[in-house]
Homo-oligomer: A and B are copies of this chain.
Amino acid sequence: MKNFVFYNNTKILFGKGKIESITTEIPEDAKVLMIYGGGSIKENGVYDQVIDALGDIEFYEFSGIEPNPTYEKCMKALEIVEDNDIDFLLAVGGGSVVDATKFIAAAYYFQGTDPWDILAHSEEVFEALPIGVVLTLPATGSEMNGNAVITRAEYKQKLSFSSPEVLPQFSVLDPRVIESLPARQIGNGVVDAFIHVIEQYLTYPVDAKIQDRIAEGVLLTLIEEGPKVLKDPTNYDACANFMWSATMALNGIISSGVPEDWTTHMIGHEITALHGVDHARTLAIVLPGVMNIMRESKKLKLIQYAQRVWGIENKDDNTTIDLAITKTVEFFESLGLPTRLREYKIPMTTIDEIVERMEERGDVNIGENKLVGIDEIRKILTDRY
State the A residues within 8 Å of B (CB). Answer: 1-18, 207-210, 213-214, 216-218, 220-221, 224-225, 237, 240-241, 244-245, 248, 253, 256-257
- For the A-B complex with A5-B11, A5-B12, A207-B240 known, give 15 more contacts whose Cβ atoms are closer than 8 Å: A1-B15, A1-B237, A1-B240, A1-B244, A3-B16, A4-B14, A7-B12, A208-B240, A209-B225, A210-B244, A210-B248, A213-B213, A213-B217, A213-B220, A214-B214
A253-B247 Cα distance, complex, nearest whole Å: 12
A2-B7 Cα distance, complex, nearest whole Å: 25
Q: A245-B210, A248-B210 are in contact. Are A257 and B15 (CB under 8 A)?
A: yes
Q: Does A217 lie within 8 Å of B207, measured CB to CB? A: no
Residue of B nearest to A256 (CB): B14
Question: Given the complex, which residues of B lie within 8 Å of A225, measured CB to CB?
Answer: 209
Residue of B nearest to A257 (CB): B14
Question: Given the complex, which residues of B lie within 8 Å of A216, measured CB to CB?
Answer: 213, 217
Residue of B nearest to A239 (CB): B1
Indicate which residue in B3, B18, B248 contacts A14 across the interface (CB closer than 8 Å).
B3
Tell me the dominant secondary structure on chain A's binding face: mixed
Indicate which residue in B6, B210, B224, B257 contacts A209 across the interface (CB closer than 8 Å).
B224
A4-B244 Cα distance, complex, nearest whole Å: 11
A9-B10 Cα distance, complex, nearest whole Å: 8
A336-B12 Cα distance, complex, nearest whole Å: 40
Q: Which of A6, A7, A15 has the most CB of B within 10 A?
A: A6
Question: Given the complex, which residues of B lie within 8 Å of A253, measured CB to CB?
Answer: 253
CB of A346 to closest CB in B, whole Å? 35
23 examples of A-B residue contacts, CB within 8 angstroms = A3-B15, A3-B18, A5-B14, A6-B11, A6-B12, A6-B14, A7-B9, A7-B10, A7-B12, A207-B237, A208-B240, A209-B224, A209-B241, A210-B217, A210-B218, A210-B221, A210-B241, A210-B244, A213-B214, A213-B217, A213-B220, A216-B217, A217-B217
Question: Given the complex, which residues of B lie within 8 Å of A13, measured CB to CB?
Answer: 5
CB of A7 to closest CB in B, whole Å? 4
Q: A213-B220, A214-B214, A214-B217 are in contact. Are A207 and B15 (CB under 8 A)?
A: no
A237-B210 Cα distance, complex, nearest whole Å: 12
Question: Given the complex, which residues of B lie within 8 Å of A244, measured CB to CB?
Answer: 1, 210, 256-257
